């Protein structure tokens, strides 16, 4: 008899969505506290550290920035609002493909630099040439980019 009750209990599936609440994601002050979207969570602590992607066009209202993706990381919760912090940005893959066409070269070096304040940041550079270049020129371009970026990061207070 006890076995029969456990089967019935296992057949009943608890709906996890009923226990979740919806929280509004709000952009940082850098973007004038614009509403980014909403996300569900069973407990507010589970939202901390979650990263949300949104296009810069939706945040700023400028259609010319539709190809820029902004990453916002949730770092605090006040009431039903998730307060975010700028976490990074990038470009959409279709925009990059449109830039790089036939008979052109694309360089995408990545550099880790330290700023004047001691922050370590990763800089990803996208360079597109007008014509195809050989590897020795690519190497010299990467070297020059590294020099310029590290010098700018070490001297500049705000990047």
Long-range CB contact pairs, 25-31, < 8 A, 24+: 25/52, 25/72, 25/74, 25/81, 25/82, 25/84, 26/81, 26/82, 26/83, 26/84, 27/54, 27/59, 27/72, 27/84, 28/72, 28/83, 28/84, 28/85, 28/86, 30/86, 31/59, 31/60, 31/70
Query: Torsion angle of alpha carbons 122, 126, 127, 130, nearest 10°?
Result: 180
- Taking only the tens place, the pLDDT of each residue in 14-71 is 788 888 999 999 998 888 899 999 999 999 999 999 999 999 999 988 999 999 999 9
- Taking only the tens place, the pLDDT of each residue in 72-98 is 999 999 999 999 999 999 999 999 999
Distance (Å, whole) CA 43 – CA 137: 54
Tokens coding 13: 């599936």
- Taking only the tens place, the pLDDT of each residue in 95-145 is 999 988 899 999 999 999 999 888 899 999 999 999 999 999 999 999 999
């Amino acid at each position: 008899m006890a076995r029969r009750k456990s089967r019935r209990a296992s057949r009943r599936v608890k709906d996890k969505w009923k226990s979740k609440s919806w929280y509004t994601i709000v952009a940082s002050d850098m973007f004038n506290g614009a509403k980014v979207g909403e996300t569900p969570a069973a407990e507010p602590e589970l939202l901390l550290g979650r990263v949300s992607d949104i296009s810069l066009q939706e945040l700023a209202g400028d259609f010319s920035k539709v190809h820029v993706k902004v990453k916002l990381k949730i770092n605090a919760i006040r009431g039903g609002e998730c307060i975010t912090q700028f976490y990074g940005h990038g470009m959409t893959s279709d925009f990059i493909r449109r830039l790089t066409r036939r008979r052109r070269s694309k360089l995408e070096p990545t550099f880790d630099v330290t700023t004047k304040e001691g922050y370590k940041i990763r800089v990803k550079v996208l360079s597109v040439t007008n014509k195809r270049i050989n590897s020795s020129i690519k190497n010299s371009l990467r070297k020059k980019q590294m020099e310029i970026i590290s010098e700018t990061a070490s001297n500049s207070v705000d990047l």
